[in-house]
Structure 1
Amino acid sequence: MLRRLASFLVIAWALGFVWFAAIPPQPIGAGRSDAAIVLTGGDGRIQRALAVLGKGWVDKILVAGVDSEVRPREFAAEYEVSARTMARCVALDQVSVDTRTNAREAALWIAANKVRSVRLITSDWHMRRAAWELAKAAPDVEIARDAVRTKPSFRILFIEYHKLIARRIAHVLGY
């Protein structure tokens, strides 16, 4: 009995990993959301959020996980954002330090700004866990998953798959 259970778990783990690695979330095209939440930490994420803002698909963006030493003026210069756009449309979260706190801070910002729908922007390999965390932190918000395509290494996929499993288990256990 124990051997069968162990075999089942190994097969389920392996099939889950194949699904996770072989079928990553994809970018989405045109579509309207109240705001975009972009998680820092990967190439192309912030550029994607600014492009979405520029196309009018969202009215504002929250950049979650910005280093506490980065000033809005520096951010604007780095990403060529006008002062007007920064003042009206771009908010920087400099409190969060990981995916879980990104979601928590984003939920606070969502509530403060009365946002009902968001476009979540992060790397394809990170999207599943990020969307899950955001859905837990802001359950009443519609989340459109807008993944930035990457070419992650096996190592990144392996680690991220296990982080996703660990967070779901921790949630079930009440953490």
Structure 2
Amino acid sequence: MILRFAAFLLLLYALGFVVFAVTLPQPLGDVETDAVVVPTGGSGRIARGLEVVRAGKARQMFVSGVDPEVRPQEFADQFEVSGREMDCCVTLGFLAVDTRSNAGEVAQWVAENDIGSLRLVTTDWHMRRASGEIRGAIPESVVIYEDATPSSPDLQQLFLEYNKLLASSVSQGMPA
């Protein structure tokens, strides 16, 4: 009986992984939001966030998890952001070090800036966990639109992220 149950759990786990791996989130279409939120860490994320702001699909962008040693001017130079754009439209967050702390940093920024809707830009394989963590940290009234940047993750990266997603889901379901 226990062996069958263990086999069933293993099968469920394996099927969950397959579904996770073959149904990665996709880029978002033409949707307007109050803001774009970009956790650092993957290529193409910041460029996509800037593209959305420059297209007028969001009025501001928050970049969470910027290394504290990075100066705003260095960021602006690296991503070709003008001084005017930095002043009006880009805020850098220096407190987060991982996905969970990104969620806390985003929640604080959302509250301080009266954000009603946001576009979350992150890598396709990271989207489900990042979105779940942020949803758990911000008010339910804030609408999150997922805008995944396509990538080519290897099997090991997908496996690691799937397990992190499961762990995150379990910990979010537990009372604090």
Normalised TM-score (structure 2): 0.97
Structure 1 letter corresponding to 2:24: P
Give the unaligned 5+ runs of structure 1.
Answer: none
Shift of 1:173: 3.0
Q: Distance in 2 between matches of 1:167 and 1:103?
A: 12
Residue 90 of structure 1 corresponds to which residue in structure 2? 90
Residue 65 of structure 1 corresponds to which residue in structure 2? 65
Q: What secondary structure does 1:151 align onto? A: coil
Q: Distance in 1 between matches of 2:4 and 2:173?
A: 24
Residue 27 of structure 1 corresponds to which residue in structure 2? 27
Identity of aligned residues (%): 48
Structure 1 letter corresponding to 2:168: R
Q: Distance in 2 between matches of 1:146 and 1:172?
A: 25
Residue 123 of structure 1 corresponds to which residue in structure 2? 123
User: Cα RMSD between the aligned structures?
Assistant: 0.9
Q: Following superposition of structure 1 onto structure 2, how do residues 26-175 of structure 1 map, counting pairs within 5 Å? A: 26-138=26-138, 139-174=140-175
Structure 2 letter corresponding to 1:111: A
Q: Distance in 2 between matches of 1:73 and 1:107?
A: 25
Residue 15 of structure 2 corresponds to which residue in structure 1? 15
Normalised TM-score (structure 1): 0.97
Shift of 1:59: 0.3
Q: What secondary structure does 2:126 align onto? A: helix
Structure 2 letter corresponding to 1:15: L
Residue-pair matches, total? 175
Deviations 1:22-56 (A, max 9, x none): 11000012110000000110110000000000000
- Contact map agreement 2:35 2:61 (CA 8 A) in 1: yes
Shift of 1:4: 2.1
Give the unaligned 5+ runs of structure 2.
Answer: none
Structure 2 letter corresponding to 1:149: P
